[in-house]
Copies of this chain bind each other. A is one copy, B any other.
Amino acid sequence: MPIKIGELAKRTESTVETIRYYEKEGLLPEPSRSEGNYCLYGEKHIERLRFIRHCRTLDMALGEVRTLLRFRDAPDEDCGDVNILLDEHIRAVEIRVEELMQLKQHLMTLRQKCESTAPTSSCGILRALSDRSCHA
């Protein structure tokens, strides 16, 4: 039943190196070992690692994941703080989207400054990027 690290990686969409990194960080409990000193993992590890990877695909920092894991490990506590963490994370993503959309506008304005393939000396893009006043 116990599986080795490569199998664990396959089952959790992670890599062997990432797993070892999480272990070093204390996010995963130490596995037991085989006679030949191979790490052996069980269902608990699979679940926990899937939880972590799932959080990471949702772009949460490992610190946030660590917090969520603490809640997961304390089933009697109030989960209101989980909601707060999530709300804050959603807000952070929103802000980043807004920033990036502004950025894209700037880039597109910049892009229009040079449609042709002229020598770089007359390239409006390079000129605009050197300019102090015109921020894109």
> Which A residues contact B (CB, under 8 angstroms)?
47, 50-51, 54-55, 57-59, 68, 71-72, 74-80, 82-83, 86-87, 89-90, 93-94, 96-97, 100-101, 103-104, 106-108, 110-111, 114-115, 117-123, 125-126, 129-132, 135-136
Contacts and interface: CB of A to CB of B under 8 A. Distances in A.
Q: Which of A100, A101, A135 has the most CB of B within 10 A?
A: A100
Given A78-B117, A78-B120, A79-B118, 5 more contacts: A77-B119, A77-B120, A79-B125, A83-B117, A86-B111
Contact of A107 (B86, B108, B118, B129): B86
Given A58-B106, A119-B77, A126 B86 contact: no
Contacts of A121: 75-76
B111 A79 contact: no
Contact of A71 (B74, B80, B120): B120
Nearest to A65: B129
Given A76-B120, A104-B97, A120-B71, A50 B86 contact: no
A14 to B, nearest CB: 13
13 contacts: A47-B130, A50-B130, A50-B132, A54-B135, A57-B135, A58-B136, A72-B126, A74-B120, A75-B119, A79-B118, A79-B122, A90-B107, A93-B100
